[in-house]
Amino acid sequence: MEEAAMAGLIVDDREKNLFRVDRQVFTDKGLFEQERQKIFDRCWLYAGHESELAKPDDFVTRQVGGRPLLLTRDQKGGVNAFINACPHRGNMVVREKSGNSRNFTCFYHAWSFDTAGALIGVPGEDAYSESFHRKDHGLARVPRFESYRGLLFVCYDANCVDLVTYFGDEAREQIDHVIDSAAADVEVVQGAQNYSMRANWKLLVENSIDGYHGLPTHQRFFRKYLSDLGLQSNVTSLGSTDSRGRSLGNGHAVTEKPRHMTGLTAGAASELAAQRQLIEQKLGKERAHKAVDFDRNVFIFPNLILISTWRTLRTFYPVAPDYMEVDAWALMPCGESQGLRQKRLENFISFLGPAGFGTPDDVSGLEGCQRGFAGGREARWSDISRGMAREQPVATDELQMRAFWRRWHALMQDRTEPIACGDRD
């Protein structure tokens, strides 16, 4: 897309407090290709959790940023991220989703590799010349691979800033809050939710930090179901001033509101109180308060969302402009009673599970938008200006989405320097 056309895709008028996005961004095939290079080839991407590789020789495979990845824990305890493609002629070396194996044998000609990626077996090796050395044919590593508090990220741009710099202080603090809301370590529970939608991936970015849609889209859950169970919800009004929507810089964002989803952990009050005490001892009262007493959706640009209410970690990747694949995992505190773990798992699946109370509503909403975009030439703009004139936007405003769009727009125009992304910056 030409420079001027790209610049015109977003109107960000801070005098008039108007923000709108050209609906081409959800449908255009050329833009979709450019996103691959400018967003997914440049940014740090969530790939997995260290707890998925608990023991030596544990492995998982998955698609991350369009590449087949193989994550392993090697014999020395190190964690590795390889491209899951055979150095011989390219076949996917590991076809299972996860498991434990001391070595991997390629399906095609049976070259084999250990969990540190070294080539350890070549059938009929004597047919190769003296210039063939096993050490030159190990599994290719991703250019950048870092861990933050157990969260594993890859980056396909060797020149990218380090992961912690990429987060910036504020986003890092929010990730800490999510992890620190558990008294012990956290782990990804075995099994994942994998589903897809006929919608552009950026619609799910918006939706994941969209407090405005909660009541109308999920009426049945928030108004009917919870009250039938005698539970209270903190999604009760559109302007609740105790909630916040914030830009965290560099496109990262958060929505926060005081936690009062009582009942979801009913019956576990004493266990939770004991956990709370441990957290306070570890972090002090103030940090413990921030970690434990708020529900938050933390968005890490471009496509990771941590949803504390449901203890969900979710990523999603575009397959086509109008199609995305979603992966979600439960990030649970270790060492809890079986009863509390069970309740948390039920909670994890009951709202945001693919067939839960929330996700089908959201899928319907997002696929409906995508169908509407077929008329994008005539009905051209999406309005994302809610709360723009407000000094302190709340979670039902749209500042957090503007933060995403500002970073997206900058990267698409090759402006890769860190930027603040708030309304007043």
The residues of the shown chain that bind ligand FES, judged by CB under 6 A, are 86, 88-91, 106, 108-111
Task: Pick between residue 46 and residue 111 the one whose CB is nearest to ligand FES.
Answer: 111
Tokens of 280: 């306070």
Smallest distance, Fe ion to C-beta of residue 369, A: 13
Chosen from ligand FES, Fe ion, none, partner binding at 362 (C-beta under 5 to 8 Å by type): Fe ion
Quick one: the chain helix, strand, coil %, rounded to 5?
Answer: 35, 25, 40
What is the smallest separation between the CB atom of 72 and ligand FES, expressed in angstroms? Answer: 17
Residue 362 near Fe ion by CB under 5 A? yes
| Residue carrying the six token digits 């979670």 | 395
Closest distance of CB 217 from Fe ion, Å: 5
> Interacting stretch for Fe ion, rule CB under 5 A, among 49-57, 74-82, 313-321, 361-369?
361-369
Q: In this structure, are residues 98 and 59 in contact, taking their beta carbons and an 8 Å threshold?
A: yes
Q: Is the Cβ of residue 27 or residue 112 nearer to ligand FES in the bound state?
A: 112
Which listed option, ligand FES, Fe ion, none, makes contact with residue 108 (CB within 5 to 8 Å by class)? ligand FES
CB of 361 to Fe ion, least distance (A): 6
Q: Three-state SS string across 62-85, please?
A: EEECCEEEEEEECCCCCEEEEECC
Q: Where are the alpha helices (DSSP H) in 319-372?
A: 338-352, 359-372
Rounded distance, CA 342 to CA 344, Å? 5
295: β partners: 257
> Tell me, what DSSP letter sits at residue 221?
I
206 lies in the site for Fe ion, by CB under 5 A = no
The burial class, CB within 10 Å (0-12 / 13-18 / 19+), for 92 is middle
Work out what residue 137 binds among Fe ion, ligand FES, none; the CB cut-off runs from 5 to 8 Å by kind: none
Rg (CA), the chain: 23
Q: Are the beta carbons of 373 and 182 closer than 8 angstroms? A: no
**45 close to 64: Cβ distance less than 8 angstroms:** yes
Output the smallest distance, CB 111 to ligand FES, in A. 4
**Number of residues located near Fe ion, criterion CB under 5 A:** 1
Query: Looking at beta carbons only, is 86 or 388 nearer to ligand FES?
Result: 86
> Which of ligand FES, Fe ion, none interacts with 111 (beta carbon under 5 to 8 A by kind)?
ligand FES
Tell me the residue nearest to Fe ion as measured from the CB. 362
* CB closer to Fe ion out of 47 and 384: 384
Closer residue to ligand FES in complex, CB, 31/94: 94
Instruction: Answer yes or no whether residue 58 interacts with Fe ion by CB under 5 A.
Output: no
Q: Cα–Cα distances in Å, from 201 out to 32, 41, 112?
A: 10, 16, 37
Tell me which amino acid residue 195 is. Answer: Y
* Nearest approach, Cβ of residue 66 and ligand FES (Å): 20
Q: CA 57 from chain center: how many Å?
A: 26
Q: Which option in ligand FES, Fe ion, none does residue 88 bind, with CB closer than 5 to 8 A by kind? A: ligand FES
The position carrying tokens 């001027």 is: 4
Least Å distance, CB 83 to ligand FES, is 13
- Chain residues binding Fe ion by CB under 5 A are 362
